Amino acid sequence: MKVVLNDRLKVITPIFLIIISILLTANTNNNPVPFMERIFKPINIGLGTFHYSGLLIIVLIYNCIRVLGKNLKGRFSFFTKYPFIITILILLLASNLIPNVTKMVKSFSGGLNSIYCNREAKALRLDSKDEDTVKITSIMELKNYSHEERNFYLKIYIPEKYKNKLSEKEFYALSNDGSKHRIFTLKGKEKRPITAIFIGKPSKDKLGETGHWGSFTKYFEFELINENETIKFFEKPMLIK
């Protein structure tokens, strides 16, 4: 049975699909992997990884623009003449708007979900102080988008590429005397850098080695924890391996 769409549906349907496509390019501040890539996971090919989800988005929007131009019957002729350029413009506009939408969602969220991490102001440094000690320093810029004060503990995860250097894989930020977990506080609408220092031990392979070594990365995962909930901030897997 052939389904015949009326003129209005022929216009509404591609617009709806374009909106869905734009939403699928978005991510959450807690997880930078786009929704589309979570559905259509990358394929490992030999020594590389093929991320095809972005290509699917481009193809979908491109074809919707062409169909939309055809169904508008010449009223927007540039849709049929320049569908690829319009597709790129839509994606550029979406990439600028989505971060603001993410922050707006945070402002309506409750609990620790209202805390936003500026991923461009985040760093983890490892320094071997001596043959038995590794100093780990984490820095992150957090903003509390709610009007209420948020208190939390901080837990960091060592990226996989450094796990052969340390005996522990995760660390809690401790108080100055090291006797208990340190409590961090963000007041309502407050934004500030959070710095924490952890002391680890070298792995068995590295234990007793002399000589200083150090490593630096912007890509690491961490958790904010209180008595009610645990919120984890992930990284793209390929960046922490």
Letter string b/e over residues 20-48, b meaning 16 or more CB atoms within 10 A of that residue's CB = ebbebbbbebbeebbebbeebebeeeeee
In a shared domain, residues 132 and 42: no
CATH number of the CATH domain containing 196: 2.60.40
Is the residue at 84 inside a domain?
yes
On whether residue 1 sits in a domain, the answer given is: no
Q: Are residues 149 and 233 in the same domain?
A: yes
232 and 223 in contact (C-beta within 8 Å)?
yes
pLDDT, residue 80, reads 84
Residues 229 and 149 in one domain: yes
| 205-220: average pLDDT | 77
Farthest CA pair distance, the chain: 77
Of 107, 125, 151, the last residue of a domain is 107
pTM value is 0.89
Q: For residues 99 and 123, state if they share a domain.
A: no
- Looking at every residue in the chain, the average pLDDT score rounds to 90
Domain boundary among 63, 88, 107: 107
Q: Reduced to 3 states, what is the DSSP secondary structure of residue 69?
A: helix
Contact between 228 and 111 (Cβ < 8 Å): yes
Place of tokens 């922050």: 103
The angle, 0 to 180 degrees and rounded to 10, between the axes of the packed helices 7-24 and 83-107 is 60
Residue 155: pLDDT band by 50, 70, 90 thresholds?
very high
**Number of separate domains in the chain:** 2
Q: Supply the range of the domain harboring residue 175.
A: 113-240
- Last residue of some domain: 73, 89, 107? 107
Query: Are 121 and 235 contained in the same domain?
Result: yes
